[in-house]
Amino acid sequence: MISISKLLCELDAESDGLRYDAADDSNVPQITRKKQRRPVVVWNTTKRCNLYCSHCYASADTEALPNELSTAEGKALLDQLADFGVPVVLFSGGEPLIREDLSELVAYAAEQGIRPVLSTNGTLLTREAARELKEAGLKYAGVSVDGLADRNDEFRGKDGAFEAAVRGIEACLDVGLKTGLRYTITKYNDDDLEGVIDLLTDVGVDRFCFYHLDYGGRGADILDADLTPDEKRAAIRTLCDLTREYHDRGEEIETLLVGNYADAGFLVEYAREELGEQRADRIETYLRRNGGDPTGERVADVDPIGNVHLNQFWQGYTLGNVRDRPFGELWSDETNPLLTALRNRTQHLKGRCGTCQYQDICRGGSRLRALAVHDDLFAPDPQCYLTDEEIGIETAGIESSGYPEAHGD
Amino acid sequence: MADHVRREAYESQTGTIDVVEKTRRAGTHEPRGTTEPQWEVFVREREGDPMTHVGAIAAPDPEIAHEQASKLFSWYGRDIWVCPANAVTRFSAHEMAAGGDSETDEEHGSSEAIPAGENEPRVYEETEGTPNVRQG
């Protein structure tokens, strides 16, 4: 997750050094140099959903799986996560609000010292539900919207989904539950970016999280909906420009990017062009500490029946099941060659990713996309949109790598 | 006669006392797949090494399972085996503990205490509500 707003608008070029503040509910000392050592865990609490979105990585459907974790098992999972030192659990789905025990699980996570946050389509978020979740200890609700009304409803497979999601956002704001937008950028909706930010800012939203399409679940069936590298570059530039315009007007919206760490290199290049060399260097320093793509390291996923995955999009491979082994054992099992390779991935990366000058702030981007397109775990991320010049390599070297060029100008 | 029955009969006759506590293993045949069939994957890194379990993949049939497993592990191992996950009955000393009292269901498992984890420092980088980044 890369914060455009913090990097471009809130870092003061006059001061020295950067630091992270611990989150507001943490009682541990502030960390200045260490990377996060335990993963944020996405828990897909159910496969059931009241919508049917074209890009759903969890392939959610109308029916729950027959063997989903029960309430007691869910609490046992949260115990496992707490014992391992997991800082945050993101309750996701399917649609997590369909689970009748959601507030109970949220409260239990909070009691164990794990920060509970929510990913929802928002359509079931009544004011009562929002209040109950807030009282249970929920810290944040991210509501998915994928375009203005017509495009969103078509993408999400239900008329009225946009209006219902906006009502859900308003319900959160009414009860004082922090909320924000989740938006997956595709060919279907990149024209709506500005309109959605404008509209939801008027509603009162000040946090906007933009996802690149990853190639897992139903997302793997709509690769043609993904933006070309040139289109990605244009979309991210639009978001950078918009963020700065808002901040210049005194509206301090928070904008974030997820799912394509080419964005890290792009932000450095953008800052160099727009804000100067010194600011660009500072941004690169921050991004280096952030560490690049977190798959298999700082993000993990547990699906509805307890399978542990390398991230939420990579549902086709599982490390094991929390019913068989505790989460911490699975995540720490250094005999697993895939897990170990991902944690040392820079030794294995090939082609453009192997020699990229932004390797330490990107770490090869999405290995799942490389696998989906090139059938090679260590091939270049096909959706890197940085130019050869930007990543500091000779074109001749790329051609000899045997992978098609994906970058644009 | 099964081995454990034979052994218990022998112990009852001779008064033999076990000095090593027996591990209790509960068996389960519950599905581990979500939508597609799951295949347990085993790899052998070098000739003479044992086969090692390296997780599971989702695939509709053994050929595609092998193809998917090869994409993930052929760089590492010389031999790759796949086995239908639903052909595996799991017997384990690990039992998923019940996490407190549930108000919604009563399907509690063992309440065996889990050792406390390391008191690792935490930094909230990859989540909603990220920390503030500011000048130091």
Count of domains for chain A: 1
* A256–B133 C-beta distance less than 8 A: no
Closest of B34, B61, B60 to residue A61, by C-alpha: B34
pLDDT digits (tens, 9 = 90+) for A59-107: 667 777 888 999 999 999 999 999 999 999 999 988 999 999 999 999 9
Q: In the structure, what pLDDT confidence band is assigned to residue B125 with cuts at 50, 70 and 90?
A: very low
Q: Which helix (H) or strand (E) holds B54?
A: strand B52-58
Q: Is the pLDDT at A15 greater than 90, yes or no? A: no
**A184 strand-pairing partners:** A211
* A245 touches A273 (CB < 8 A): no
Strand partners, A210: A183, A257
Q: Which CATH number fits domain B33-91: 3.10.20.30, 3.10.20.520, 3.30.9.60, 2.30.42.10?
A: 3.10.20.520
Give me the residue from A85, A320, A321 closest to B122, CB to CB: A85
What percent of chain B has a predicted confidence (pLDDT) above 90? Answer: 31
Residue type, B116: A
Answer yes or no: is pLDDT of B131 > 80. Answer: no
Euclidean distance between CA atoms A334 and A347, whole angstroms = 17
Domain that holds residue A313: 2-345
d(CA B55, CA A315): 12
- What 3-state DSSP class applies to A31? coil
Lowest-pLDDT choice from A218-227, A314-323, A370-379 = A218-227
- CA within 13 Å, CB half, A33: 0
d(CA A122, CA A113): 26
Question: Would the CB atoms of B117 and A142 count as touching at under 8 Å?
Answer: no
Q: Give yes or no for a contact between A35 and A289, defined as CB atoms under 8 angstroms apart.
A: yes
B87 phi, psi to nearest 5 deg: -90, -5
Beta pairing partners, B83? B40
Output the average pLDDT for chain A.
Answer: 86
**Contacts (Cβ under 8 Å, ≥6 apart) of A63:** A47, A48
A259's tokens? 């799912």
pLDDT for A211 beyond 60: yes
- For residues A246 and A254, give the distance between their C-alpha atoms in angstroms, rounded to a whole number: 10
Give a yes or no: residue A287 inside a domain.
Answer: yes
With contacts defined as CB-CB under 8 Å, which chain A residues touch B32? 305, 307, 318, 321
Query: Mind telling me how many Å the CA of A387 is from chain B's nearest CA?
Result: 27
CA dist A89 → A51, A112, A139, A318, A400 (Å):
23, 11, 11, 19, 43
* Cβ–Cβ under 8 Å, residues A361 and A288: yes
Per-residue confidence (pLDDT) for residue B89, from 0 to 100: 87
pLDDT band, residue B103 (cuts 50/70/90): low
Residue B108: its pLDDT value, please?
29
CA–CA distance from B12 to each of A366, B7, B8, B17, B21 (Å)? 61, 9, 6, 9, 17
Strand partners, A119: A142
Which tokens sit at B29?
A: 């045949």
Q: Verify whether the Cβ–Cβ distance B56 to A70 is below 8 Å.
A: no
Instruction: Name the pLDDT band for A278 (thresholds 50, 70, 90).
Output: very high
Q: Is the pLDDT of residue A287 over 50?
A: yes
Of B68, B75, B126, the CB nearest to A1: B126
- Long-range Cβ pairs for the range B48-55 (8 Å, 24+): B51/B79, B51/B81, B52/A335, B54/A336, B54/A337, B54/A338, B55/A317, B55/A318, B55/A319, B55/A320, B55/A336, B55/A338
Query: Which chain B positions have a beta carbon within 8 Å of A304's beta carbon?
Result: 34
Task: Say if the Cβ atoms of A82 and B100 lie within 8 Å.
Answer: no
* Cβ separation B99–A75 shorter than 8 A: yes
DSSP conformation letters of A84-148 = HT--EEEEESS-GGGSTTHHHHHHHHHHTT-EEEEEE-STT--HHHHHHHHHHT--EEEEE--SS
Residue contact A298–B119, C-beta within 8 A:
no
Using the beta-carbon criterion (under 8 Å), do B133 and A16 form an inter-chain contact? Answer: no
Q: Considering only residues B91 and A54, tell me which one the structure prediction assigns the higher pLDDT.
A: B91
- pLDDT tens for each residue of B47-81: 999 999 999 999 999 999 999 999 999 888 889 99
- Tell me, yes or no, whether A38 lies in a domain: yes
**Confidence band (pLDDT; 50, 70, 90) for A58?**
low
Angstrom distances, CA of residue A181 to CA of A192, A197, A242, B79: 13, 9, 16, 46
> Is the confidence at residue A304, as pLDDT, over 50?
yes
Residue A362 lies in a domain: no
Q: So where are chain B's domains?
A: 33-91
At A349-408, the pLDDT tens digits run: 999 999 999 999 999 999 999 998 899 999 999 999 999 999 998 754 444 456 655 544
Distance CA A230, CA B59 (A): 34
CA atoms of A96 and A47, how far apart (whole Å): 9
The residue in chain A having the minimum alpha-carbon distance to the alpha carbon of residue B135 is A18
Determine what percent of chain B is predicted with pLDDT higher than 70: 45
Question: What is the CATH classification number for the domain harbouring A12?
Answer: 3.20.20.70
Whether the full predicted model's pTM is greater than 0.90, yes or no, is no
Task: Give me the phi and psi of A339, to 5 degrees please.
Answer: -60, -45
Q: With contacts defined as CB-CB under 8 Å, which chain B residues touch A72?
A: 98-99, 102, 105-109
- Output DSSP code: residue B48: T
Cβ partners under 8 Å of residue A254, min gap 6: A3, A5, A6, A180, A206, A207, A208
A338·B55 Cβ contact <8 A: yes
pLDDT at residue A60 in the model: 67
- pLDDT score, position A340: 94
Beta pairing, strands A254-258 & A2-3: antiparallel
Structure tokens at A310: 């390398």
Q: Are A201 and A180 in contact (CB under 8 A)?
A: no
Is residue A376 in a domain? no
Distance CA B134, CA A5 (A): 12
CA-based nearest residue to A93, from A128, A125, A51? A51
Tokens of A338: 């895939």
The pLDDT confidence band at residue B121, using thresholds 50, 70 and 90, is very low
Residue with tokens 């394509």: A260
pLDDT per residue over A337-352, tens digit each?
A: 999 999 999 999 999 9
Structure-token pair, residue B131: 């920390």
| A-chain residue closest to B129, CA distance | A140
